[in-house]
Amino acid sequence: MPLLAAPEPAGPGGMRAMQSDYMHWAKFKPPVRFPLTSSEVPHFRMDSLPLNLADLDMDGASHPRYAPLRAAIARRYGVTPEQVVAADGTSMANFLALAGLIAPGDAILVERPTYEPLLGAASFLGADVRRFERRADDGFRLDVDRIAAAAGAHTRLIVITNLHNPSSALADEADLLALRELAQRLDARILIDEVYLDSAVPPRRSAAHLGPEFVCTNSLTKVYGLSGLRCGWILAEPELAERLWRLNDLFGVNQAHQAERLACLAFDRLDDILGDTPAMLERNRARFNAFVEARADLECMAAEHGIVAFPRWLGGDSDALADRLRERYHTAVVPGRWFELPDHFRVGLGVPSDVLDEGLNRLGAALDDLQ
């Protein structure tokens, strides 16, 4: 299957994205024994939930804006139910939020590097997508001065990920409050994809607490190992939340109700579901940091948060490295071209520690081969 380049962001008159090449690649890449491409923790086993079929309420009724799930999300994230909009995963939450926030031709600012489907969705919706840099030599920090320099009077929306995908850099509340000031000056909003935020150390509260300018998306996918439930949500000020619910009547109408029931069961015991994941991630980050430290051909800020890391390979284009790793060592990483930085690559730290250990051994061998 041919691998296509990441789409050019649609500028005025530019091509509108009609697909996500990254997502297609991520779904259909050949399987390997040591998949360090993953950005989520191991799947939680649903058969450990105290579940009987009656819990799934197979009554065929329609449950619009299913109140128990909305309340469970609101409780967990310390907001009111009126601020919560349900969506199928963070993916649909992002799409719905973007669709509600931008009109064709609106100027928006998106971080670079970023999660490619955010760019694709904005382009599909006809936004005039401009970019601002998060620089590797600055630890991919959210530099609000740089965002301000890239912004114009017409900027309607600023889009970031926090934790940052691919680097896991954390934007702290001081950064976010500075960003809020900028958004207020521009009369713009800020969309933050927070799907990795619960894996910050320690976990941070959602930016939804910092003001009505913030529109935050999240799901049970990455940190809780429940991607199959597709339980995602948007936190937004109530008026916008209402608009997004209404907009969703054009898209998905309702969530799959049985999945909503399962998500409620999961929310009732989310800390148990999290289990020893934070300890595993801490171990894996330490293992990764030691690996990078020992290699002269890699540069990477120390992994402190999150489930992924994004080292730079001094050997050049990481596609060559990814090919060698897959073909000779049955191991996979995400080539940096998917994040517009081909000399970087993304390593998933959410796999069991023995898998990470062996994956890193094999990565080391591939790097040695290519020296």
219 binds ligand PLP (CB under 6 A): yes
Q: How many angstroms separate the CA atoms of 204 and 225, rounded?
A: 19
Residue with tokens 């540069």: 299
228 binds ligand PLP (CB under 6 A): no
Q: What DSSP line would sit under 52-112, residue for residue? A: -GGGG--S----TT-HHHHHHHHHHHTS-GGGEEEEEHHHHHHHHHHHHH--TT-EEEEEE
Burial class of residue 365 in the structure, from the number of CB atoms within 10 Å of its CB (0-12 exposed, 13-18 middle, 19+ buried): middle
Smallest distance from ligand PLP to CB 195, Å: 4
Among 101, 195, 223, 281, binds ligand PLP (CB under 6 A): 195
Q: How many angstroms separate the CA atoms of 254 and 100, rounded?
A: 17
Contacts of 6 (CB under 8 A, 6+ apart): 21, 22, 116, 119, 337, 338, 340
Site map for ligand PLP, 85-124, x if CB under 6 A?
----xxx-----------------------x---------
Smallest distance from ligand PLP to CB 148, Å: 23
DSSP class of residue 192 equals E
Sign of the alpha-carbon dihedral angle for 77, 81, 83, 88: positive
193 binds ligand PLP (CB under 6 A): yes
Among 7, 113, 120, 232, binds ligand PLP (CB under 6 A): 232
Among 165, 206, 248, 284, binds ligand PLP (CB under 6 A): 165
CA proximity to 98, closest of 181, 24, 17, 184: 17
Task: Rank residues 186 and 333 by Cβ distance to ligand PLP and give the closer one.
Answer: 333
Task: Rank residues 161 and 206 by Cβ distance to ligand PLP and give the closer one.
Answer: 161
Smallest distance from ligand PLP to CB 187, Å: 26
Q: How many angstroms separate the CA atoms of 226 and 222, rounded?
A: 7
Among 37, 38, 39, 155, binds ligand PLP (CB under 6 A): 39
Nearest residue to ligand PLP by CB is 89
Smallest distance from ligand PLP to CB 89, Å: 3
Which residues of this chain interact with ligand PLP, rule CB under 6 A? 39, 89-91, 115, 161, 165, 193, 195, 219, 221, 227, 232
